[in-house]
Structure 1
Amino acid sequence: MQRTDPEGRGPVRYGPPAPEPGLPVLPELAEATAAAAARPVGEPPGGGPELREAACGYWSRRGLRSRSDEVVAASGPQPLLFALIAAHRGDVMLPRPCPAWWTPQARLLGRPAYHVPTPAECGGVPDPYALLETVRRVRAEGGDPGLLLLSVADDPTATVAPPELVREACEAAVAEGLLIISDETWRDTLHRPHETVLVSPAEMCPGEVTVLSDLAGGLMPASWPVAVARFPPTEQGAARRARTLDILTALGAVVAEPVAAAAALALDEPGPVVTRSEQAAGLYGAVTTAMHHAVLVSGAVARPPQAGRHLYADLGPLRAPLARLGVTDSMELEEYLSDRLGSPAPGGHRFGDELGELRVRLAAGPLLGADPEQRHASLTSPAPLELPHVSRALSILGTAFDELR
C-alpha cells in the first residue's frame, strides 16, 4: 500500500502562502479585543470558561449539545489538530484531496498517512468502499489504521458532502474500529444555506467523532488564531481530551486573552457577527461561481462551489496546450498560474493529489480588491461582480484560462 510520499512535493515551508480573505475586521470584534488587551491574567491551556461556554452554545445551536468539560480551545487549528492526532492511536486515513495543513501534522508525529479517493460528487469525505479497501490493505501490510480525518464542508474542493454519503463513510469507519475527527471549519460559509443540507458526523456517530473548527473559517479574522474542538460525551472522549490538554500545555498553544475575548463574542453570534458571516458567504459564493464559469469555458473542469472561498480546478483536459507551455505536472502548474494571476495558486500535490494530476486551488480573496476600501466595497455591494476592480480581476482570470484553450 503506497503511503503519502513527501518526496518531490516541495517542503511545507516552501509552499505558496495562503491568500488571506482580506475582508475588514468587524468593529465589534475589534472592540472586544481592545477591551481585553489590558487584562493581566491570560487564558489557561484549553481555553477559559467563557470561551468554552460560548463554544458549547455555538454547537448546541447546530444540534450538538455540549458541556464545557467536553471542549478545548487552542491558538490555531494546526497545534490543535497536532494534539488531537497525538491523542488518538493508529495510522491516519485522509480523503484525497484534503486541506494542505492536515498531512504535515501526521508526518511530524511520525504517523503513516494514507489518502483515500473521494467520490465524484464531492470532496472532503472518502468513498466508503475505497475506505474499506484501503483499511484492509493497510492492515494486510502490517499497518494499524485508527483515525479518519474528514470535512463535510470541504477545503480545498469547496463542496458539501451529501448526508447519505457522510453516514455511509462514518459507518464504514466505525465498523473498522476507526475514530473520526470532523473538521467543520467551513460549515458557516455555505453559499446557498437554504438549498444545502449539512449534517455533522457527530450527529450520526456521537461516541466516535471529535469536531474541530478553525474560527477563521466564518467567524474571526484569519490573523487572530483560535480553534476549538468538541469531544464525544464518553469516558474515552474525556481521556482523549485530557491527553489533548497535556499536549497543548506542552506546546504552549494557549489562546491570547484579547483573541479569546473576541472569539467568545463571535461564538455567541450576536447580530453583527451573523450579518457579517452571511455577507461574506454570499460574496464568496458570487465570486467563486464566476470563477467556476471561467474555468468551465476554458475546457477545464471543477465541481460547483458550495462553501468557503476557493475553487478546485482540474486542468487535465488542457494537458496538451499546457505541455506546449512547459507545464506537465501540478508543481509546474502552480508556478505558471501563480505568476500569470499574480497571486498564489497552490497545485494539487499540496492537497494530496498525485503530482502528475493538473489540479490547482484558486482563491477568491485576491479578486475582492487591492486595498481595504475596495474589499469593503466588495463586501457591501448588492452586485459585487459589477464593481470595476472585481470585474477586472475576473477578466484577468478568464483571459489566463482562455489562453490555454
Structure 2
Amino acid sequence: MRRTDPEGHGPVRYAPPAPEPGLPVLPRLAEVLATAAARGPVELPGGSSALRAAASGYWGRRGLPTEPDRTAAAPGAAPLLLAVTAALAGDVLLPRPCPAWWAPAARLVGRRTYSVATPAESGGVPDPYALLETVRRVRDEGGGPRLLLLSVADDPTATVAPPEVLHETVEAALGEGLHIVSDETWRDTLHDPRDTVLISPAEMAPDHVTVVSDLAGGLLPGDWPAAVARFPHTADGAELRARALDALTGLGAVVAAPVSAAAAYALAEPEEVTARRAAAVALHARVAAAAYRLVRDAGVFARPPQAGRHLYVDLEPLRAGLARAGVGDAMELEDRLTQALGVRAPGGHRFGDDLAALRARLSLAPLLGRTPAERLESLTAPEPLELPHVQAALSMFGSALDAVRDAAPRMEPPR
C-alpha cells in the first residue's frame, strides 16, 4: 500500500471522514431517494418544510420540543457548522481531540480556535476547570471567546461524557457567556443504552445551546450528505438561525432534493429505519468490544468504546520500541498503522490532538466483511463474531497490531 503523501498530513489538506457503517443501504431508503429523484422538487437553503418538520419530531421524541422554524438543514455537518460559526462573532473553544472538520470550519470564517483538555474518563466535553483557565488565558491575551463546541457522544474517542462532567462544563461555559454548539451526530449509536446515560446540553440550558446532527451518524449513508440543526427558542436563537441561513444561502449549501426526501423519511423513524439502526448499533458494539480486547492484548491503551463505530487507541506503552523503528509521533504512527492494517488509520493530529502523542482512530467497518454480501450477513447473523469472515478479519486485525508492536528492533540485554 502506498505510503501516506507527506504533503497530506495537514488537518485541512486531508481531514478523515466520519467512520462509515460499512453496511449496505437500507432498501426502503433507496426507494424513497429514487422516487424523489424522478420528481425533482426545488429545495431552498435551510431545508424543505417536510425535512424541518421531521427534524422537529425527531428532537421532540428525545425530550427537546422543537418548532420547525427553529431548525435548519444543510448538505452535511461541516457547512452547517460553518454557517453557525459565521453567525457568531468571537473565538472558538474545542475539546482536544475533536472531529477533524471542526477547526477548519472555524478558520474558514476567520475565527481563532483554542483547544481545551478533556477529562481522563471521556472525550468530547472539555474539563470544566481547564475550560475556565483557557477562557481566562485567551481574554488576558486579548481574545474574545464566544463559542464552545462539544459532543456528548464523541468522534474520535468513541466515549460518552458522564452527565456530572457535562453539567459542570455547561455551567462553566454559561458563566463565561459562551454559546454552546452540541454535535449530537452519534447520540443514537450507544453500545449499551441501558447503562450509558446520554444527556444533551440543550436539556440543561435550552436558551444557550444549538444542536447539530449529521444524519450519517445513525440514519443515512455517509455519501448522502444531510445534517440538521436545532436553535434555541428565544429571540437570540431566532436571530442566530437567520444569520446562519444567510451564510447557507451565500454558500449555496442546499440539501439535494432526493437526499432531503430520504432524510425526512429517516428522521420520522419508521419501524424499518429504527430496526436497521438498532441492528447496526448492536453489530458495531459486538465488534468494537472484540477489537478492544485485541487492542489491549497487544499492550495498547484505549478507552472502552461506548458509541459510534471506531476506536481511539494510544500506543504510548510501545513508544520506546516504536521509536527504534522510526515512529515517534502521530504522523509516523498513522503511516505505520495504515500500512499494517491496509486501511486508513488517521493519527490523532488530524483531530487536534498532540502531534507527539502516539494516538490514532481505527474504523470498525473493515472488520464486518469485504463484500456487501458478507457485511449484510454480519448484520443479520445472531452471532456475528462466529462468522468465518468476521473471525478472519479480527484475526488479521490482532496480528497487524502485534506486528506493529513486534516490528521494533529489540535491544540486546546487557551481558
Instruction: Check whether TM > 0.5.
Output: yes
Residue identity in the other structure for 1:279: A
What CA distance in whole angstroms lies between the structure 1 residues aligned with 2:331 and 2:156? 16
Helix, strand or coil for the counterpart of 2:296?
helix
SS at the partner of 1:361?
strand
User: 1:300, CA displacement in angstroms?
Assistant: 1.2
Contiguous gaps of at least 5 residues in structure 1? 1-6
Aligned-pair distance for 1:392? 1.2
Distance 1:204 1:89 in 2: 23
The residue that corresponds to 2:215 in the other structure is 215
Q: Secondary structure at the match of 2:357?
A: coil
TM-aligned CA deviation for residue 35 of structure 1: 1.3
Offset at 1:12?
Answer: 2.1
Shift of 1:14: 3.4
CA distance in 2, matches of 1:136, 1:348: 27
8 Å contact kept, 2:80–2:227: yes
1:300 aligns with 2:300: yes
**TM-fit CA distance, 1:82:** 0.5
AA at the equivalent of 1:309: R
**Offset of 1:362 from its aligned partner?**
0.4
**CA distance in structure 2 between the partners assigned to 1:384 and 1:209 by the alignment:** 39
Where do 1:179-328 residues align within 5 Å?
A: 179-328=179-328
Is the 8 Å Cα contact of residues 95 and 150 (structure 1) preserved in structure 2? yes
C-alpha separation in 2, matches of 1:160 and 1:66: 24
Matches within 5 A, 1:108-123: 108-123=108-123
Q: How does 1:45-124 map to 2 (within 5 A)?
A: 45-124=45-124
Letter in 2 for 1:275: A
The alignment partner of 2:346 has SS state of: coil
Shift of 1:145: 0.4
Shift in CA distance, 306/11, structure 1 to aligned 2, threshold 3 Å: closer
Deviations 1:355-374 (A, max 9, x none): 11000000001111111101
Q: CA deviation at 1:39?
A: 2.0
Which one-letter code corresponds to 2:23 in the other structure? Answer: L
Q: CA deviation at 1:45?
A: 1.0
Separation in 1 of the partners of 2:197 and 2:49?
Answer: 32
- The CA deviation string for residues 311-333 of structure 1, in whole angstroms up to 9 with x for no partner, is 00010011012112211100000
Is 1:175–2:175 an aligned residue pair?
yes
Corresponding position of 1:153: 153
Q: Distance in 2 between matches of 1:17 and 1:172?
A: 31
Q: Distance in 2 between matches of 1:69 and 1:113?
A: 30
Amino acid at match of 2:111: R
Q: Which moved more, 1:393-402 or 1:209-218?
A: 393-402
Secondary structure at the counterpart of residue 396 of structure 1: helix
Partner of 2:25: 25
For the residues of structure 2 that align with 1:70 and 1:276, how far apart are their CA atoms? 29
For the structure 1 residues 46 and 16, does the alpha-carbon distance in structure 2 shift closer, same or farther, using more than 3 Å as the test? Answer: closer
Residue 330 of structure 1: aligned partner: 330
Aligned to 1:37, the other structure's residue is in SS state: helix
CA contact (8 A) 1:19 1:343 kept: no
How many residues align structurally? Answer: 399
Q: Within 1, Cα distance between the matches of 2:24 and 2:217?
A: 14
C-alpha distance in structure 1 between counterparts of 2:209 and 2:215, whole Å? 19
SS of residue in 1 equivalent to 2:13? helix
Structure 1 distance, partners of 2:286, 2:255, is 33
**Does the 8 Å CA contact 2:76/2:226 hold for their aligned counterparts?**
yes
Deviations 1:208-256 (A, max 9, x none): 0000000000011111000000000000000010001011011111011
- Kept in 1, the 8 Å contact 2:11–2:100? The answer is no
Q: Cα distance, 1:13 vs. partner?
A: 2.5
Partner secondary structure for residue 180 of structure 2: strand
**Structure 2 unaligned runs (5+)?**
1-6, 407-415
2:313 match: secondary structure: strand
In structure 2, what is the equivalent of residue 135 of structure 1? 135
Q: 1:8 offset after TM fit, Å?
A: 10
Residue 11 of structure 1, CA deviation: 5.0
Aligned to 1:10: 10
- 2-side partners of 1:86 and 1:379: how far apart? 41
Would the aligned equivalents of 1:9 and 1:355 in 2 still touch at CA under 8 Å? Answer: no
- Give the direction of change, closer, same or farther, for the CA distance of 1:17–1:45 in structure 2 (3 Å limit): closer
Say if 1:207 and 1:233, in contact at 8 Å, map to a contact too: yes
Instruction: State the alpha-carbon separation in 1 of the partners of residues 250 and 24 from structure 2.
Output: 34
Q: Secondary structure at the match of 2:243?
A: helix
Counterpart residue type for residue 173 of structure 1: A
**Alpha-carbon distance between aligned partners in 1 of 2:15 and 2:88, rounded to the nearest angstrom:** 28
**Which residue of structure 2 aligns with residue 4 of structure 1?**
none
Between the aligned partners of 2:188 and 2:21, the Cα distance in structure 1 is 15
- Secondary structure (helix, strand or coil) at the match of 2:333 reads helix
- Whether the 8 Å contact between 2:298 and 2:402 is mirrored in structure 1 is yes
**C-alpha deviation, 1:301, in angstroms:** 0.6
TM-score (norm 1): 0.96
**Aligned partners of 2:18, 2:176: CA distance in 1, in Å?**
35
Q: State the alpha-carbon separation in 1 of the partners of residues 250 and 92 from structure 2.
A: 23
Cα distance in 2, alignment partners of residues 327 and 257 from structure 1: 47
Query: Counterpart of 2:331 in 1: which secondary structure?
Result: helix
How far is 1:160 from its partner? 0.6
2:29 counterpart letter in structure 1: L
Contact 1:56–1:66 (8 Å) recurs in 2 = yes
Q: Which residue of 2 aligns with 1:44?
A: 44
- Counterpart for residue 3 of structure 1: none
Deviations, residues 316-354 of structure 1 (Å, cap 9, x unaligned): 011012112211100000001001100000000011111
Q: Is the 8 A contact 2:11 2:351 kept in 1?
A: no
RMSD across aligned positions (CA): 1.4
- TM-score normalised per structure 2: 0.94
Other-structure match for 1:341: 341
Q: What letter matches 1:311 in structure 2? A: L
Q: CA deviation at 1:40?
A: 3.7
Deviation at 1:15, TM superposition (A): 4.7
Residue 58 (structure 1) shift: 0.3
Q: Conserved in 1, the CA contact under 8 Å of 2:11 and 2:350?
A: no
